[in-house]
Structure 1
Amino acid sequence: MAKVIGLGGVFFKSADPEALANWYKTHLGMPVEHWGGCAFRALDLPKGSYSVWSPFAAGSDYFHPSRHPFMFNLVVDDLEAVLAQAAAGGAEVLPGREDTEFGRFGWFIDPDGNKVELWQMSVNS
């Protein structure tokens, strides 16, 4: 049987995609390219990195306070520094951090109201 072998991208709508892409480039250092998005190369990620695909129950409040039916998860090299940069750019940094066997997690709301989960992978992930 043919099968899916990886996550090819995340695509979503924005009222002002150019401004949102520029915000991520300016405040989170994302490598936004001329076509408006960015490609994350496997060689640039921590060794053993992986992508996660996970449906949530319709009634889940995990994406709260965003009203959107999705959430982004971005791998970062320094959770607290990236959250500080997001806050400096006007994002609402959400309280609380989560430490798990997979690494550390923190969250913010971007200028479009999307909840973004930041993941600093643990060395053992």
Structure 2
Amino acid sequence: MAKALGVGGVFFKSSNPKLLGEWYKQHLGMDVGEFGCNFEPAKLPENALTVWCAFDEQTRYFDPSERRYMINLIVDDLDGALAQVEQGGATLVAEVVEESYGRFGWFVDPEGNKIELWQPA
């Protein structure tokens, strides 16, 4: 049987892809180009991984966004990243959560997408 080996990309619609890409480049240091941003697995922290998870239709985990998805980005400095996106106009949501596998923080970007930031332990 053929198997899925990982997430090959995250694709979504934007009212202004160029402007949103520039926002992520400025506030999270993502190298956004014509075809988005490529993350190289070899450059991720040792404990980082990609998770695929379907949530129940009634979940409130993606609130306050009204989107049917949430994107998780791995960061090297959660506190610094949250400060940068807030300075760029994003809305921080919830308090930072610390788990045995890392720290998490959330924001809503200029287009209303809820983004989860994860700094692996």
Per-residue CA deviations over 1:39-64 (Å, capped at 9, x if unaligned) read 00011111242100000000000000
Identity %: 50
Residue 109 of structure 1 corresponds to 108
Q: Aligned letter for 1:98?
A: V
Q: Indicate the larger mover: 75-84 or 87-96.
A: 87-96
SS in 2 for 1:104: strand
SS in 1 for 2:115: strand
C-alpha separation in 1, matches of 2:101 and 2:47: 11
Q: Is the 8 A contact 2:72 2:117 kept in 1?
A: yes
Distance apart, 1:36 and its partner CA = 4.0
Q: Aligned letter for 1:76?
A: V
User: Equivalent residues in 2 for 1:8-87 (5 A)?
Assistant: 8-33=8-33, 35-87=34-86
Aligned length: 121
Per-residue CA deviations over 1:76-99 (Å, capped at 9, x if unaligned) read 000000000000100001131111
SS in 2 for 1:96: strand
Unmatched segments (≥5 aa) in structure 1: none
Q: Is the 8 A contact 2:78 2:103 kept in 1?
A: yes
